[in-house]
């Protein structure tokens, strides 16, 4: 029997701090996961809220291929007849081929959380599984707190599994619900269950000890044939086992085909797309798919990886849809520079010297890919500025009735003097609006550019309001992103510098040469 991946991003993952999916979000994620080839998608807990109930009605309209949508619920209540348990009825109303039933397998939880006796809990498990099997459902039984329960009372934890197996469960999933187990413990306990059970086993691990992925892998190696997890490791507390890390590890290192070979290169896009839907910024240091996963900064590392990528990369980043990034900073060597400006007429030694000089003043080019490209081109001696700043004035007005900023700008574009003013919520907003108003006739493509992020860092806080300020601006259009930097003791000047750099980069590279622009954006850290 082959390994089955079971995604619970839309149920367990949605319980993570800061994660919230709308109904439309859940349907989009479902389609994306199905297209990627995930066999099981746990859609939610029908009856727990209107959104999840509506989801199971709407999801029927999607074409999901071989993917099964799973409705999640718990075993019957201790004081209810199984045929009259409303929660089980809502599971049936979800009308899914597969249901997941969670039951207590830790005697501590049975007696002190459910507040019932151990034998009653066994009956609840048997009754609920049997109820679903009689109605033709594939039943995934999640033995909640199994590993902690096994540590405390192994006999009872195994009796719970036996009750589910006797009732006809199709899967017995062993859950490290508190996320406190070590890999050697997981292996030992999975082996113990494997030797006693004839039902296929699964595993569900949490990341409270930063071991969810490791624990899932050793459980698989010990005999678990279903791995439950979430995209990007989303989940309650510290999260769940991260399928984005597990999938390439299984596929590339253990040669276990859990998704089609042509799907694996889409992994990075999948991870980033779902993070966008969840309204969470992608983790820069995420294994396999993060911007930093194949980023090289130290000069020795860059020199080596240019000669032999495997010297500092454990896989080819193309296999998971990612790519190599080389960044520059005061730690870089000329190899970094040569890698980044191979197509530009710029002296690498002089550029590196200039970067180190500017970074000593507070600039940060590792995080500002577009500003780095502009710096290199300007030092090459062939760069023609699309416009030149002649004058800028920004002021703010605040009273009980109004709080507004205004910016007045004069720029030279060719032989034209462009002079205009605009207001905004704050000074940077006003500056942005004024520059756009001045430049839009000359450069109409700017209507497609938008600011995505604005970050300010005080570099010498001991100087209080006189401190040097670094401003990073991230901008983009529908397909690309880039980042620029400005720096100085005046936060408005620093913001204006980063803003102008962003406009210049867009005008010079993104619209005129999309391929080249994309190449340089790929170096962003």
Half-sphere exposure (Cβ direction) of 399: Cα atoms closer than 13 Å? 3
Contact 208, 238 (CB under 8 A): yes
Helical H segments across 381-448, by residue range: 427-439
Measuring CA to CA, which residue among 333, 402, 374 is closest to residue 486? 374
Domains and CATH numbers, the chain: 4-259 (3.20.20.70), 295-361 (no CATH), 388-521 (3.30.160.270)
For residues 384-422, b (16+ Cβ closer than 10 Å) or e, as one string?
Answer: eebbeeeebebeeeeeeeeeebbbbbbbebeeeebebeb
From residue 122, alpha-carbon distances to 3, 94, 103, 109, 143 in Å are: 28, 25, 9, 13, 12
Count of beta carbons in the 10 Å neighbourhood of residue 465: 7
Half-sphere exposure (Cβ direction) of 131: Cα atoms closer than 13 Å? 26
Helical H segments across 278-407, by residue range: 299-307, 334-340, 348-360, 369-380
Contact 376, 340 (CB under 8 A): yes
Count of beta carbons in the 10 Å neighbourhood of residue 91: 27
Per residue of the chain (525 residues), give pLDDT as tens: 799 999 999 999 999 999 999 999 999 999 999 999 999 999 999 988 899 999 999 999 999 999 999 999 999 999 899 999 999 999 999 999 999 999 999 999 999 999 999 999 999 999 999 999 999 999 999 999 999 999 999 999 999 999 999 999 999 999 999 999 999 999 999 999 999 999 999 999 999 999 999 999 999 999 999 999 999 999 999 999 999 999 999 999 999 999 999 999 999 999 999 998 998 888 989 999 998 898 877 666 767 877 888 888 999 999 999 988 776 655 555 555 555 555 555 677 788 888 888 988 888 887 788 998 899 889 888 789 999 999 999 988 877 777 889 999 999 988 889 899 999 988 889 999 999 999 999 999 999 998 888 889 888 888 777 789 999 999 988 778 899 999 999 989 999 999 999 999 999 988 554 434 333 343 333
């Amino acid at each position: 029997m082959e390994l089955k991946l079971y995604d619970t991003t839309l149920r367990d993952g949605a319980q993570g701090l800061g994660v919230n999916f709308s109904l439309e979000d859940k349907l989009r994620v479902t389609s994306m996961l199905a297209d990627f080839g995930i066999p099981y998608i746990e859609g939610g807990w029908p009856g727990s809220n209107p959104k999840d109930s509506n989801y199971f009605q709407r999801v029927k309209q999607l074409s999901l291929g071989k993917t099964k949508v799973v409705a999640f619920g718990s075993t019957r209540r201790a004081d209810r007849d199984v045929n009259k348990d409303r929660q089980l009825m809502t599971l049936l109303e979800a009308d899914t081929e597969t249901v997941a039933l969670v039951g207590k397998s830790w005697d501590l939880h049975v007696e002190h959380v459910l507040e019932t006796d151990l034998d009653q809990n066994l009956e609840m498990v048997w009754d609920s599984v049997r109820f679903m099997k009689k109605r033709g459902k594939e039943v995934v039984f999640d033995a909640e707190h199994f590993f902690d329960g096994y540590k405390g009372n192994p006999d009872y934890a195994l009796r719970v599994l036996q009750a589910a197996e006797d009732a006809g469960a199709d899967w017995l999933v062993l859950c490290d619900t508190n996320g406190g187990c070590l890999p050697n413990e997981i292996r030992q306990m999975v082996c113990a269950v494997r030797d006693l059970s004839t039902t296929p086993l699964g595993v569900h691990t949490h990341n409270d000890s930063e071991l969810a992925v490791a624990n899932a892998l050793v459980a698989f190696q010990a005999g678990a044939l279903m791995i439950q997890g979430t995209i990007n490791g989303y989940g309650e507390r510290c999260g769940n086992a991260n399928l984005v890390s597990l999938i390439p590890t299984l596929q590339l290192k253990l040669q276990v085909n859990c998704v089609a070979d042509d799907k694996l290169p889409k992994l990075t896009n999948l991870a980033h797309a779902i993070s966008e839907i969840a309204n969470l910024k992608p983790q820069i240091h995420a294994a396999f798919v993060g911007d930093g996963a194949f980023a090289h900064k130290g000069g020795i590392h860059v020199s080596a990886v240019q000669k032999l990528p495997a010297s500092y990369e454990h896989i080819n980043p193309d296999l998971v849809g990612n790519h190599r990034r080389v960044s520059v900073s005061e730690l870089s060597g000329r190899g970094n520079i040569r890698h980044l400006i191979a197509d530009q007429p710029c002296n690498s030694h002089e550029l590196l010297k200039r970067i180190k000089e500017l970074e000593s003043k507070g600039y940060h080019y590792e995080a500002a890919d577009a500003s780095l490209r502009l710096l290199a081109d300007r030092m090459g001696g062939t760069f023609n500025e699309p416009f030149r700043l002649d004058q800028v004035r920004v002021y703010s007005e605040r009273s009980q009735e109004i709080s507004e900023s205004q910016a007045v700008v004069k720029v030279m574009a060719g032989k034209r003097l462009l002079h205009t003013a605009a207001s905004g919520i704050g000074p940077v907003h006003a500056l942005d609006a004024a520059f756009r108003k001045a430049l839009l006739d000359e450069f109409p493509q700017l209507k497609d550019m938008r600011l995505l992020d604005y970050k300010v860092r005080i570099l010498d806080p001991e100087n209080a309001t006189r401190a040097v300020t670094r401003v990073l601006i991230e901008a983009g259009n529908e397909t690309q992103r880039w980042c620029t930097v400005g720096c100085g003791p005046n936060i408005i000047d620093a913001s204006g510098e980063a803003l102008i750099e962003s406009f210049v980069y867009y005008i010079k590279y993104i619209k005129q040469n999309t391929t080249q622009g994309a190449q340089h954006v790929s170096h962003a850290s």
